């Protein structure tokens, strides 16, 4: 590898044939393409796996496609991360198959995970999420931004997240679709909870018990799908972000 540290990008995907090609194209357009992409096909019954395998034949970086039959984003992510670590990954980044990482995403993740070219242990990086421009208009994107801020405030002031409960770092908003972590810290934290979404807050708190080296990187930007807004509405989406379920609106559309 010509970069510092062996980087893998983990991409869990369930029933994403309509959006996966866009995500793969965004990864192919990265300024830093010195990574291996692992697509984890999570019990899809559509063409998700086929699209990923077709992309592997023409991608500008190595691509592996792994099947995870246990449905749940936590299962897919944990299986993918552990597979990458077993294959020698020292730096791990994750996004989702309905997201669009901006061109500097992998470069920013690598820079944030290293100290002057040497992999930093332990460290976790939380990136910045903004709404995709092709799913909702300005009103929907504004609503999404407000919901993200609400979730961040809720997490920061939630009593269960206070540092007096044994956490080494203050609570910081963590979106699973835009994060990076060193391999050693991932294993030390016990990995992603193997369950359906939401898993991000649980994983962040596992990491907070291991280290205070959790940083926010504004240069690490992912355009996030807003389709949950269409499925749940503002109130239902807020309930979901606050860990209150979907309010009877059905399964998570992602």
Residue 196 counted as domain residue: yes
Residue 251 counted as domain residue: no
Residue 184 counted as domain residue: yes
Give the domain range for residue 81.
Answer: 7-241
If one counts the domains in the chain, the total is 1
Residue 210 counted as domain residue: yes
pLDDT of 91 over the 90 cut? yes
User: pLDDT tier at 1 (50, 70, 90 boundaries)?
Assistant: very low
User: pLDDT tier at 239 (50, 70, 90 boundaries)?
Assistant: low
Residue 5 phi, psi dihedral angles, 5° rounding:
90, 150
**Choice between 64 and 201, residue whose per-residue pLDDT is larger:** 64
Tell me if the pTM is above 0.75: yes
Strand partners, 119: 114
Residue 2 counted as domain residue: no
Which value, to the nearest 10 degrees, does the dihedral of the CA atoms of residues 33, 39, 45, 46 take?
A: 0
Residue 178 counted as domain residue: yes
Looking up residue 137, the CATH number of its domain turns out to be 3.90.550.10
Residue 62 counted as domain residue: yes
Query: In angstroms, rounded to a whole number, what is the distance separating the alpha carbons of residues 179 and 18?
Result: 23
Residue 218 counted as domain residue: yes
Residue range 184-216, pLDDT digits in tens: 999 999 999 998 877 888 999 999 999 999 999
pLDDT at position 228: 59
**Choice between 101 and 172, residue whose per-residue pLDDT is larger:** 101
Give me the residue label for tokens 């062996």. Answer: 6
Burial code of 54-67, b = ≥16 C-beta within 10 A, e = fewer?
ebbeebebebbbbe
């Amino acid at each position: 590898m010509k970069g510092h540290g062996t980087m893998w990008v983990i991409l869990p995907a369930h029933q994403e044939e309509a959006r996966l090609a866009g995500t793969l194209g965004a990864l192919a357009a990265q300024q830093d393409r010195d990574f291996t992409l692992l697509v984890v096909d999570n019990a899809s019954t559509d063409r998700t796996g086929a699209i990923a395998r077709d992309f592997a034949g023409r991608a500008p970086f190595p691509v592996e496609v792994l099947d995870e039959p246990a449905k749940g984003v936590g299962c897919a992510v944990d299986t993918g991360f552990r597979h990458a670590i077993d294959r020698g990954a020292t730096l791990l980044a994750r996004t989702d198959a309905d997201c669009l990482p901006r061109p500097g995403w992998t470069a920013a993740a690598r820079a944030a995970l290293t100290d002057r070219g040497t992999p930093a242990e332990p460290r976790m990086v939380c990136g910045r999420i903004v709404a995709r421009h092709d799913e909702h208009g300005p009103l929907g994107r504004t609503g999404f931004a407000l919901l993200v801020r609400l979730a961040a405030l809720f997490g920061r002031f939630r009593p269960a997240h206070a540092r007096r409960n044994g956490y080494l770092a203050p609570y910081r908003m963590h979106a699973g679709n835009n994060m990076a972590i060193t391999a050693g810290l991932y294993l030390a934290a016990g990995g992603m909870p193997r369950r359906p979404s939401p898993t991000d807050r649980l994983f962040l708190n596992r990491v907070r018990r291991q280290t205070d080296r959790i940083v926010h990187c504004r240069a690490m930007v992912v355009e996030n799908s807003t389709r949950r807004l269409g499925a749940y509405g503002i109130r239902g989406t807020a309930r979901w972000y606050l860990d209150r379920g979907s309010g009877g609106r059905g399964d998570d559309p992602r």
